Amino acid sequence: MFVDVDRLDTWSQYKSGMCDRCHANCCTMPVEVRMPDLIRLGWVDAFEAEHSPAKNIAKRLSKAGLVGHFNFKHEIFTLARRANGDCRNLDPVTRRCTVYDVRPSTCRLHPQVGPKPGHCPYGPRQVQR
């Protein structure tokens, strides 16, 4: 059975060990981050975070291809993705996170939180044509 990340009814209930054999489908969903995540990733330093407006940081990170969107009202950054929808931090060959040790909170908390808590888009991905 194929999984479609946009159709929650195709998601599986999470069980320990699933990530070991995963196709990294969760890494094709938009990743929303806040300033502490950007600091942990090393993309923003604490001084800049404290002294520069978030919109200026968003512009810089957008020009660098790291951020795809910025919500001014809530100061939430959405990480940039590749043309195929993959997170830019996902290795295209191994399908493993290249920033795993410093990954954003959104990723750390998945699948406990998200569009369908306790479930994940595990399994072969449905290819859109």
Render pLDDT for 65-116 as a digit per residue (tens, 0 to 9). Answer: 999 999 999 999 999 999 999 999 999 998 899 999 999 999 999 888 888 8
Residue whose structure tokens are 């996902």: 90
The pLDDT score that the predictor gives to residue 129 is: 46
Q: What CA–CA distance (Å, rounded) separates 32 from 127?
A: 24
Q: Are 80 and 70 in contact (CB under 8 A)?
A: no
Residue 10 has pLDDT above 70, yes or no: yes
Per the structure block, which two tokens stand in for 128?
A: 């859109």
Per-domain residue ranges of the chain: 8-120
